[in-house]
Amino acid sequence: MEQNKDIIVKAENLSVHFPVKGGNPFNRKYVKAVSDVSLEIHRGETFGLVGESGCGKSTFANALLGILKPTDGKVIFEGQDLNALKPKQFKELRRNMQMIFQDPYSSLNPRFDLLEIIGEPMVIRGGYTPQEIEERVVEMLELVGLSREDLHRYPSDFSGGQRQRIGIARAIILNPSFLVCDEPVSALDVSVHAQILNLLDDIQKKSGLTYLFISHNLAVVKSICDHMAVMYLGKVMECGDTKKIYENTLHPYTKALLSAVLDIDVDNPRERIILQGDIPSPINPPAGCRFCQRCPNAMDICAKCEPKLVEIEPDHKIACHLYKECRPE
């Protein structure tokens, strides 16, 4: 297979559906968490994935990491199809993909000290002496702004921001090339958001690490992401270059999300778009455009026919019937 070395990971028509428990076994229903999503993430960039809770962001990320098996489609990481790998090959490749979690309180084992928590991936991998592990853990502690004195302290001795630093140190100790950051600052005090984001930025500059940054905070995504995708009910509504999407927002859903971001231009305030209703059930999503029940611009065609995700300008795609390019021929 020809490999574009610039692309570290890509999803090709990826779908993840979960069977609903109970009910009629002859008419099994499925939660369509992710449906036919194709995205590419370039080496060394930060890619933002945004959308409301329950839109499929975390399920998509888990499928990219091989934690969830896709119902359909493929994940290609470093040129290799994850599903086609043998378990041993997958385990080896998986070390290059790590994750930091939203909640630094529950993601660290309270009975382990920092040497055990941060060094655990090296212990699992094997082949290192205790001294090598300790030296590498100290190196990681210093990289994330902690010190050798913290080696034998426990998570309860640290603040939320420091615990997230510990989670980052653990995630990067094996030198991964791809890191999923799942809402890494949303559980933290606002005063430490910038510190954690700056730390991630510093690490990326030093190591060339690629980030998938999952967030519902569009202001943060604007400031740190090179590319982004907006998801709604398991589908991509708009994606591409972050600057282009913010300067020329095209999709009604993206416009509504952006209108809710705190406006600092008091002379020229943005019009707030209030979406009516809730996200429909992913068990029975609308037949046409998934956003049609809440869209202020919905037309007849929207309920009947699904718009295609089409490039409207270079590096900027949308799926919306307001643009004739997205309508089927």
Q: Given the complex with ligand SF4, which of 189 and 278 has the nearer CB atom?
A: 278
Q: Given the complex with ligand SF4, which of 45 and 306 has the nearer CB atom?
A: 306
Q: Given the complex with ligand SF4, which of 199 and 237 has the nearer CB atom?
A: 237
**Minimum gap (Å) between residue 233 Cβ and ligand SF4:** 11
**Minimum gap (Å) between residue 277 Cβ and ligand SF4:** 13
Q: Given the complex with ligand SF4, which of 298 and 310 has the nearer CB atom?
A: 298
Please provide residue 254's backbone torsions phi and psi, each rounded to the nearest 5 degrees.
-60, -40
Q: Given the complex with ligand SF4, which of 85 and 310 has the nearer CB atom?
A: 310
**Minimum gap (Å) between residue 252 Cβ and ligand SF4:** 5
User: In angstroms, rounded to a whole number, what is the distance separating the alpha carbons of residues 233 and 305?
Assistant: 16
User: In angstroms, rounded to a whole number, what is the distance separating the alpha carbons of residues 326 and 17?
Assistant: 25
The Cα angle at residue 89 between residues 85 and 93, in degrees rounded to 5: 100
Kindly list the residues in this chain that would bind ligand SF4 in the complex (CB under 6 A): 252, 289, 291-292, 295, 297-299, 302, 307, 320-322
User: In angstroms, rounded to a whole number, what is the distance separating the alpha carbons of residues 183 and 193?
Assistant: 11
Q: Given the complex with ligand SF4, which of 163 and 290 has the nearer CB atom?
A: 290
**Minimum gap (Å) between residue 51 Cβ and ligand SF4:** 14
**Minimum gap (Å) between residue 234 Cβ and ligand SF4:** 14
**Minimum gap (Å) between residue 279 Cβ and ligand SF4:** 14
CB 76 within 8 A of CB 40: no
Within 8 A by CB and 6+ apart from 213, the residues are 46, 47, 48, 49, 181, 184, 220, 221, 224, 225
Q: Sheet of 316-318: strands edge to edge?
A: 97-100, 178-182, 210-215, 46-50, 227-232, 235-241, 316-318, 310-313
